[in-house]
């Protein structure tokens, strides 16, 4: 991997790790649904001009149904679930749980598409879920105001991301990546508009909350998507997905620096197990005797 590609990988992890920080800060002020509407609307406003410049609007119209479906499961639904979860859990814990996305992607592929799992990938699924259980036992609290339901919401969000990956491949496999990215944000914004208006806060959020929401849309969504697609073009999808392993690191760092979040030994241990399981499930880490499947 070239130095430029490595820098892109680290920058992407920093941006996506920062999304948990911005949601943790802005979700209480806006509410989850209005905040996520702002996130996808701002991202759509940034990506739409690029789409026009590259003259790819025709592909957007031709695959409108698939783009709407992917937009719901890749953005509208998981973003909203994560924003709601951020009302109760730390940015560090959320970023660790987010690392289960490749595990759910592999599991859905095995169950739904009958994709063959080798021994290492199957072991990765088991190890990953053990890590989630370790985190849940140490952090989950289902009493009023506890974090239990928030952890479930995070896992449902990562499940939605995993489903979206396969839907994208099946419904938008021939569609340029920019069309999928811009179209999914436009579709998510349209779907969320009625809910955002209904739940719009009675009291106007402060300037810092607005700044966090705009940074979430511009930096952590629109700009991050462009970097991600450049990485895929330069190093391939298999290497680009390794950004998953770096996101928890930045989520923890940003949460510690800007939100004074504490990281305990249980979170470190559970997070390490989740990352190990993800590495095995995605094939990034293989047993010495295992072969690519």
Alpha carbons 236 and 61: distance in angstroms, whole number: 27
To the nearest 5 percent, what fractions of the chain are helix, strand and coil?
Answer: 80, 0, 20
Residue 284 — pLDDT band, cuts 50, 70, 90? low
List, for residues 22-64, the tens digit of each pLDDT value: 999 999 999 999 999 999 999 999 999 999 998 888 889 899 9
- 19 and 220 in contact (C-beta within 8 Å)? yes
- Residue of higher predicted confidence among 78 and 168: 78
List, for residues 138-197, the tens digit of each pLDDT value: 666 655 555 788 989 999 999 999 898 888 888 887 888 889 889 999 999 999 999 999
Task: Check residue 147 and give its pLDDT.
Answer: 72
Structure tokens that stand for 255 in this block: 């949460």
Residue 293 — pLDDT band, cuts 50, 70, 90? very low
Calculate the average pLDDT of the chain: 85
Q: Residue length, the chain?
A: 293
Task: Check residue 30 and give its pLDDT.
Answer: 97
């Amino acid at each position: 991997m070239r130095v430029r590609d490595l820098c892109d990988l680290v920058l992407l992890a920093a941006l996506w790790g920062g999304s948990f920080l911005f949601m943790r800060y802005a979700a209480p002020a806006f509410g989850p649904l209005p905040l996520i509407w702002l996130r996808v609307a701002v991202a759509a406003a940034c990506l739409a001009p690029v789409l026009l410049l590259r003259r790819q609007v025709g592909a957007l119209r031709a695959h409108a149904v698939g783009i709407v479906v992917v937009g719901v499961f890749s953005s509208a639904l998981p973003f909203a679930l994560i924003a709601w979860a951020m009302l109760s859990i730390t940015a560090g814990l959320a970023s660790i749980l987010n690392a289960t996305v490749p595990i759910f992607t592999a599991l859905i592929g095995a169950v739904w598409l009958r994709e063959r799992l080798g021994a290492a990938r199957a072991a990765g699924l088991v190890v990953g879920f053990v890590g989630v259980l370790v985190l849940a036992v140490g952090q989950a609290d289902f009493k009023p105001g506890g974090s239990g339901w928030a952890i479930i919401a995070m896992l449902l969000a990562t499940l939605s991301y995993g489903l979206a990956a396969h839907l994208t491949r099946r419904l938008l496999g021939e569609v340029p990546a920019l069309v999928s990215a811009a179209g999914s944000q436009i579709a998510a914004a349209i779907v969320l508009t009625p809910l955002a208006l209904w739940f719009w806060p009675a009291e106007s959020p402060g300037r810092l909350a607005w700044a966090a929401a705009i940074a979430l849309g511009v930096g952590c969504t629109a700009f991050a998507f462009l970097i991600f697609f450049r990485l895929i073009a330069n190093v391939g999808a298999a290497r680009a997905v390794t950004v998953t392993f770096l996101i928890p690191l930045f989520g923890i760092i940003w949460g510690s620096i800007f939100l004074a979040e504490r990281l305990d030994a249980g979170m470190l241990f559970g997070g390490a197990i989740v990352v190990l399981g993800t590495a095995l499930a995605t094939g990034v880490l293989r047993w010495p005797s295992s072969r690519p499947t």
